[in-house]
Amino acid sequence: MLLDLNEDETMLRDGLQKFAQGSLRPKIKPFADEHTFPTELVKEFLALGFMGTAYDPAYGGSGLGTRGAAIVAEQLARVEPGFAAIYLCNSAPMTTIARYGSDEIKRKWLEPLCRGDFIASFGVTETNGGSDVASVKMRAIEDGDSYVLSGAKVFSTNAGTPLHGVSTFVAVTDPELGPRGLSTFVVPVGTPGFTVGKPGRKIGWRIADSVELFLDDCRIPKANMIGNRGDGLKQILTTLSIGRILVAATALGLARKAIDLAKSYGGSRKVGGVPVFNHQGLTFPLADALTNIHAAELMVRNASCLADSDRPFRLETSMTKLFATEMAGEAADIALQIHGGYGAFEEYDVSSLPGEARVLRILEGTSEIQRVVIGRELSA
């Protein structure tokens, strides 16, 4: 069956649950409350090798593909969605390098990322770009054996943290070609001209720093280009499609967390002398949530299998991301409602879930963008 885990996937899940329950759950709340990056917990996670889950064993990965990566995101989100964000935002540049990079680039950057030597960030979105990924303004000008990059990116998660080692950037190399004139580059932290802005406080992903990145005449070797010149847009779209699967898996984990909290609190709460779950006004939404969680899990597994089999998968990832993230918001809302007034207090974990779920409907393409992609099939 689609939901059955093989032996390697079962070992992966069990290892993640051990980390999540043994280290993450008892230690993460102060970091979330203070909106701070949990450096030591991330180091522990990196040392366990989970960052390499999806990638080729020839470069230090575990070879479990997108399906394995989705298991990681779901299990982390079931404890702390922000920790899943650190994982999936590190996966985006790794995916670009793994799918399109030369052997030299993979040896230089994918291998240490799989080992967990450092983490990466993805530089795509710009101030005036948003969902229009083809409207990139950052320039990369060829100069001898180098490219000189100038411009800025926003919402780059993982950048500026103590463990940040490298970023990938999409820039314009051939402006006369429009969207076909984009290329992707690896830029190590510490390169002259590469600076990082300050993180802001967000309603979700509270522990995952998201910042603005600036490149000011930043010179890098030509060998730092990922794949072919002009392939940037294709690379972005594929990487975002895989990222949408991981966002959906994060939403799945968040929804499971919401239901766990609802069951734990609602199981002992009475209203009018009757257990709260005996009231259909709350039981029916929970039944719908459980049904939608099951559907989302099937969609995540299916989209993951399509991505790993090199079959067309962009439509399925948009449907999966749309359904799972909308579903997670509904699950978070009913879980908070079951907590009544206590759900408004930050001491209760459920209070953060609506904000965490709301963020998932925006990043990697908003719900509206997913509907645009899906709607195109109507005229295909």
98 shares a domain with 204: no
Which position has the higher pLDDT, 235 or 267?
235
Using one digit for the tens of pLDDT, what is the confidence trace for 286-298?
999 999 999 999 9
Which position has the higher pLDDT, 14 or 273?
14
Show Cβ contacts of residue 75 under 8 Å, excluding neighbours closer than 6 positions: 13, 16, 17, 20, 253
The reply to whether 2 falls in a domain is: no
- Whether the predicted model's global pTM rises above the 0.75 cut: yes
Whichever domain contains 298, its CATH number is 1.20.140.10
Using one digit for the tens of pLDDT, what is the confidence trace for 201-240?
999 999 999 999 999 999 999 999 999 999 999 999 999 9
* Chosen domain end from 211, 230, 249: 230
pLDDT band at 274 (very low <50, low <70, confident <90, very high): confident
* Beta strand spans in 51-160 (E): 119-123, 139-143, 146-157
The reply to whether 1 falls in a domain is: no
Mean pLDDT of 243-261: 97
**Closest Cα partner for 90 from 196, 243, 237?**
243
Whichever domain contains 64, its CATH number is 1.10.540.10
The CA distances from residue 289 to 134, 193, 357, in Å, are 36, 49, 14
Tokens standing for residue 12: 């992966």
* Chosen domain end from 63, 93, 119: 119
* Chosen domain end from 119, 142, 158: 119
Catalytic residues: 364
Please say whether the beta carbons of 92 and 243 come within 8 A.
yes
The reply to whether 297 falls in a domain is: yes
202 shares a domain with 287: no
C-alpha to C-alpha distance for 373 and 85, rounded to whole angstroms: 24
C-alpha to C-alpha distance for 85 and 78, rounded to whole angstroms: 12
Question: b or e along 226-241 (b: 16 or more beta carbons within 10 Å of the residue's beta carbon)?
Answer: bbebebbbbbbebbbb
338 shares a domain with 206: no
The pLDDT of residue 1: 55
Structural domain of 348:
233-379
Mean pLDDT of 357-368: 94
The pLDDT of residue 235: 96
Using one digit for the tens of pLDDT, what is the confidence trace for 171-210?
999 999 988 999 999 999 999 999 999 998 999 999 999 9
183 shares a domain with 164: yes
322 shares a domain with 220: no
Using the predicted structure, report yes or no on whether residue 134 has a pLDDT greater than 80: no
- Per cent of the chain over pLDDT 90 is 86
**Closest Cα partner for 84 from 297, 243, 298, 315?**
243
295 shares a domain with 245: yes
Q: Report the domain count for the chain.
A: 3
